Amino acid sequence: MPRRDFAGVASMTALDIALTYAAMGLHVFPCKEYGPPGVIKTPYTHNGLNDSTTDPDVIRGWWERWPDALIGVDCGRSGLIVVDLDVKDGKDGPGNWSKFLNGRELPATFNVRTPSGGWHGWYRDGGTAYKTCADEVAEGVDVRAVGGYVLAPGSTGYTWHAEVPLSVDDIPVMPTGILPERNGARFTGHWQNLDRDALDSRDLAALEALENLGGHGAFQAGEYVAVTRPGKTAGASVSIGHIGPGLVKVFTPNWPPLSEGAVYDADQLAALANGGRVGPVVLESDNELSRRVRLTPASSIKPRPVRWLWDTASVDAAPRDRQGRFPEGSLVLAVGRAGLGKSQFAVWMTARITAGTLPGALWGKPRAVVYAASEDSWSMTIVPRLIAAGADLDLVFRVDVEADDDPHARLTLPKDTSLLERALESHSVVLVVLDPLLSLIDGTINDYRAREVREALEPLVAVADRTRATFLGLAHFTKASGSDPLLLISGSGAFGQLIRAGVGFARDEDAEDPAYVLSTIKNNVGREDLPSLAYVIQPCPVDTPDGPTWVSRLEFTGEESERSVRDLLRDNGSPEEKTERNAAQEWLDEYLKAAGGSALAAEVLASARKAGLSEQRITKARMAIKAKSERTGFGKDAFYTWIRMDSMDSRTEKPRIHGIHGESMGGSESEEQWQLSTSRGSGDTPNLDLSQHAEPTEGGSSQTIEALSPADTASPGSGRTCSSGGSLGRSNSPPDTKPCSCGCDRQIPRHHVLAEECARRIREEAQS
């Protein structure tokens, strides 16, 4: 009997071993490596052992999602019968098996040691449909055959006894007559011969209709009848009577024209057998036959670290800092107003994942993406955009739904969630784009009702967790004003609550060139204070078989934005706010122009109030037109002057300080004080007289401080006066005092600007 040493198994991964079994002809599937009794060792996949396969691509996809999964082997599909000798709880499986054989010899075979100390003996079934049973042959002796599975070495605690077969054909055949066959009468148990005469007339009619559709091998399975589909040698493909008298529940996707999960009655099955087109039975209630409550202790749930699909703040570097934007196995959202590049961002993500260049857990590992788009054309928009972004088109899948009763069927949530899950598992998909998310939700669901939104999306969240695929939904902001992106998402607040992470998009309306910003707006499992990224949307030519076309492509600039999406939403506001903002900017710009380029802030605000503009609005307008605010003085005597940007050009260099002989003394800033004049010029606009005045130096000599300004053509003391009657001009004051800046005769401390009485009067005038 050909054998090989399997001592090197310790250096192989579970994936390597699973692929080895598949190459031998064994049908494998992943099982849970952790959990309480009833959960551990059960299949990860939706259809359990019915999903077992020898396809290496499917197997790779499974073990990339569940790298520590146990390796299940489907005995029926693999043509195996495995004798399980148990020693738990005082059982003596090996001894009882020996007694059962009673001297009958079996061929030497390959044996597996189990975690409990028992044994698995592997045999081929030789084409005989053996019966899966527990403790029926003898206490502590279980048989795994059609409809059963075992965990193979490569799973924690399971080891070959020295050698393994090279292929299934190397495993010896179980001699007939030793173990119970599936339809044999020698043993009684869960699977029994079917007494057709004892069937309910409705069940019998359904059975005959199924047999007309190619069904065979009917047997009594407890309280219901099981039937095997065409093309399969054994196993329960449908049940009869389990849900109700005469009702057939379908378990398989491989029995056309029947639909997996559907329920039919005998009349419908007869119509299908005659080539008719009918839909399944719509049950008023499932009677909750399959519902149960199970309590799982937290100690039995295996913790796992967060794996980031996009795990750094950057967009072009290999993952180094685990900051994390999008976690694997989660529902995430990309949200913003129309025209900001959300769809182009989804294409960018798709291209990076299919090329293996997205910083994160899959860096250097190209993976598949499912793209569900309900608005854009695939041939004219999506595929050209993917080409422009550098995506691997072989790894991008359009998702379609085929329905016999609806030629225009499309993906609908939550109706198609389970179908989508099975499709993801078979293609190793790591990202599902839902563009836009709202259009893919069933139209009967009110997207403004939190409960209905949760009922639609919570199954999708569960699928993401099971498959570890990330679902990227695209959504829009409402037209309402506000700066919290989560509160601006169109629809119910449940959209923002269900997602684990999200990014927002905004445009900087105040920038001269189109400038866009992406910011993290939610991150339940990571940091929210990630840097905001600047991006642009560029036109890009794409060659097609019918000639060139142009599409838009999102490109990150590599720069970080100082303003986040929240900042921009607050500053940009709604279209109505934008109109008000522009009006405020125009008013302020004209006001400062009329004032000669600068004005006292208090007077600007007073005039703005008279014009119906709030202080907050006019202050934002100052920042928008980039007018500078300069402070003069200290404490309660301080005043601010607003100066237009073009008026600052002549003030860019520091005041020039000259000695008494005119030589330059450099750029000392010891006494940079602008002299204020509150006189009214033409048009009743405030003016600044930025004149020259002399200040004594520490040694007693004078220095002249020249301040260039829009008013520097006026000579000091040229008759411009304040309401106190004083004139502005040069003065050589004692070192500790100087004249009041308003031009009155008062002497004030050198570090002051105005006398207290003058400051109070000017404030009152500005407020009035």
CATH number at residue 450: 3.40.50.300
User: Residue 488: CA atoms inside 13 Å, Cβ hemisphere, count?
Assistant: 26
Predicted pLDDT of residue 664: 35
- In a domain, residue 553? The reply is no
* Nearest to 589, CA basis, from 542, 642, 532: 642
Predicted pLDDT of residue 763: 62
User: Residue 240: CA atoms inside 13 Å, Cβ hemisphere, count?
Assistant: 27
Distances (CA, A) of 708 to 29, 590, 667, 677, 715: 82, 22, 14, 15, 13
Is it true that the peptide bond before 575 is cis, omega within 30 degrees of 0? no
pTM of the prediction?
A: 0.51
Q: 715 and 626: one domain?
A: yes
* pLDDT tens digits, 680-730: 333 333 333 333 333 333 334 333 333 333 333 333 333 333 333 333 333
Predicted pLDDT of residue 262: 83
Q: 252 and 345: one domain?
A: no
Predicted pLDDT of residue 670: 33
| 394: three-class secondary structure by DSSP | helix
Where does a domain end: 458, 485, 505?
A: 505
- In a domain, residue 55? The reply is yes
Residue range of the domain that includes 483:
308-505
Q: 635 and 728: one domain?
A: yes
Query: How many independent structural domains does the chain possess?
Result: 4
Q: 316 and 459: one domain?
A: yes
* Nearest to 71, CA basis, from 24, 37, 103, 109: 24
Predicted pLDDT of residue 512: 62
Is it true that the peptide bond before 297 is cis, omega within 30 degrees of 0? no
Where does a domain end: 445, 471, 505?
A: 505
Sign of dihedral through CA atoms 364, 370, 376, 380? Answer: positive
Predicted pLDDT of residue 452: 92
Q: 376 and 434: one domain?
A: yes
- In a domain, residue 717? The reply is yes
Those residues of the chain that have pLDDT short of 50 are 1-8, 184-191, 284-289, 650-735
Q: 326 and 217: one domain?
A: no
What is the tally of helices (H) and strands (E) in the chain?
18, 36
- In a domain, residue 557? The reply is no
Around Cβ 539, how many Cβ atoms within 10 Å? 9
- In a domain, residue 562? The reply is no
- In a domain, residue 722? The reply is yes
Q: 631 and 698: one domain?
A: yes
Where does a domain end: 443, 472, 505?
A: 505
Q: 328 and 199: one domain?
A: no
Which token pair is 48? 């359990």
Sign of dihedral through CA atoms 257, 263, 267, 268? Answer: negative
- In a domain, residue 602? The reply is yes
- In a domain, residue 181? The reply is no
Q: 666 and 614: one domain?
A: yes
Q: 206 and 330: one domain?
A: no
Q: 584 and 710: one domain?
A: yes
Predicted pLDDT of residue 720: 35
Q: 206 and 256: one domain?
A: yes
